[in-house]
Amino acid sequence: MATGLGERIKAVLALEPDKGAFEFKGIWYTWADVSQAIEQIEQRLLAAGLHTDAPVGILLRNRPAHVAAVLQVLASRRCVVALNPFQAAGKVADDLRKLALPVLIADEDDWQVAQILGASEEVGSLGISISTAQALTVETVVGLDCRRHVDKHAQALPGICVLMLTSGTTGPAKRIQLPYQNFERSLFDAMHYESRGDSGGIKLKESAALLSTPLVHIGGLYAAVFAVVGARPLAIMEKFNVEEWTKAVAAYKPKTVMLPPTAIRMILDAKVPPEKISSLLAIRTGSAPLDPAMADEFEQTYNCPLLDTYGATEFAGAVAGWTLKDYRAFAKVKRGSVGRAQPDCELRVVDAESGEVLAPSTIGLLEVKSVQIDPNKWLRTTDLAEIDSDGFLFIRGRADDAIIRGGFKILPREVEKTFREHPAVKDACVVGLPDARLGAVPVVAVQLREDSPATTAEELLGFARERLVSYQVPVSLKLVMALPRTPSLKVSQHEVRALFNE
């Protein structure tokens, strides 16, 4: 049996080359197609002198050629440097100049953008163009067929599989190094569930997994690689769309899928008929807070459990979550929890000042110990949490999101929850703004329901005043058509903050 990530990827590609590997917009690409694209990228990297540990930039779109590029870099033990295609072209170009990558792999459409091409020329990167049409194609970009300014290029990153972007929820996205050791451990620990029937060796699965989360963030990249190492075909959506997702579920009948809470809300709002997604035994969710009231509505409508998880890019996966067994036993009495610690993970809550471990059901800073990171070290997060006597984790906000208004602490999530209780409110986001007298004050952006009657900002603030302590009430409220979101559909807090700075 293949023991490492690279060996496993190569073993899966060789199983049944003529069978479908990736489906995209109604077209299936075989494992042989994927292998050919991987080999063509490998030849170009070797010719440029880029070997093990070399950083390889990929402008990651949810397309088969891009998944193939990720597989190639991981199978060859190089490092994927994730680049966000949803940014403005100027920001992508600035990123390329700062990173000074020896090579950039991007879609043929992205190479038509003058800023991206120009930044790559300035840096002297090798340019590789990939495309997903009737076939997967790999070409060298004209004018970027060799590396220049080699001495100024980013150096090798030994042992790092991905330089991964965080989601950018609370501020500009930043990159975190994910070691191969951690990523492999996370994949292979989870993979034994996929491989329970593989006692006679690796076998291709019949049903396809669905990829609708962005490949540029850890959830999407993990899902894509997990499907491949699990020998499962992958149906790829360029971005989440209710109609396309519903058709994919009806066609491929997956038993479980992963969706962020915003996508779950979109399914409810679209009134998708339950029979069209009846194959689902559960939906795993995460990446943003799951509103308990919305979860109740979804589960009652579709008779499908929502299994919340908790993780971060730094953890290379989830460190807590719900199992179906726990859900059946505790869902009603542990409402709002993100589940219990995953196997090989430990959780505790400590006092922010003293570091003292706090008693059950006491709010403090969450710390995590995991074999995926370091089995001997507690990693402190910026999440405010409590753990009850049964080990269930409740996330109560972020320490770095807490707004200190004249000495009083405000947790934005509590204020957002109050606004969501108004029948006209679809969603809300509370952030803090600097204040010369009080230190910081809360403001809120509110998105109304499409079918709601006319509702004013003052009416909503009056609603909040009746339910909140005075210092919790936002000093300003903006009504917006839609809250700004990151590619992973989280509300972008720094963009909300910018609305009040205009």
361-415 residue pLDDT tens = 999 999 999 877 778 899 898 889 999 999 999 998 877 778 888 777 788 988 9
Determine what percent of the chain is predicted with pLDDT higher than 90. 71
Topology alike, domains 5-183 and 403-499 = no
Q: What is the pLDDT of residues 163-215, one digit of tens each?
A: 987 755 444 567 888 889 888 888 887 765 454 445 557 899 988 999 998 89
The per-residue b/e assignment along 340-365, b for 16 or more CB within 10 angstroms, e otherwise, is bbbeebebbbbeeeeeeebeeeeebb
Boundaries of every domain in the chain? 5-183, 403-499
Q: Which CATH architecture has domain 403-499?
A: 2-Layer Sandwich (3.30)
| CB-count burial class (<10 Å; 0-12, 13-18, 19+) for 437 | exposed
Determine what percent of the chain is predicted with pLDDT higher than 70. 96
Which of 270, 269, 311 is CA-nearest to residue 294? 269
The confidence score (pLDDT) of residue 373 equals 74
- Which two structure tokens, joined as six digits, stand for 300? 């009652």
Interstrand relation of 55-59 and 27-30 (parallel, antiparallel or unpaired): unpaired
Flag whether pLDDT at 280 surpasses 70: yes
End-to-end CA distance of the chain: 58
Q: What is the pLDDT of residues 80-99, one digit of tens each?
A: 999 989 888 888 999 999 99
Helix (H) or strand (E) holding 426: strand 425-435
Band the pLDDT of 12: cuts 50, 70, 90: very high
Does the predicted model carry a pTM greater than 0.75?
yes
- From 3.30.460.10, 3.40.50.980, 3.40.50.300, 3.40.47.10, which CATH number describes the 5-183 domain? 3.40.50.980
From residue 406, give the alpha-carbon distance in Å to each of 84, 156, 288, 431, 438.
Answer: 38, 48, 28, 16, 4
**If you average pLDDT over every residue of the chain, what do you get?**
91
Band the pLDDT of 111: cuts 50, 70, 90: very high
In angstroms, the CA 229 to CA 11 distance is 9
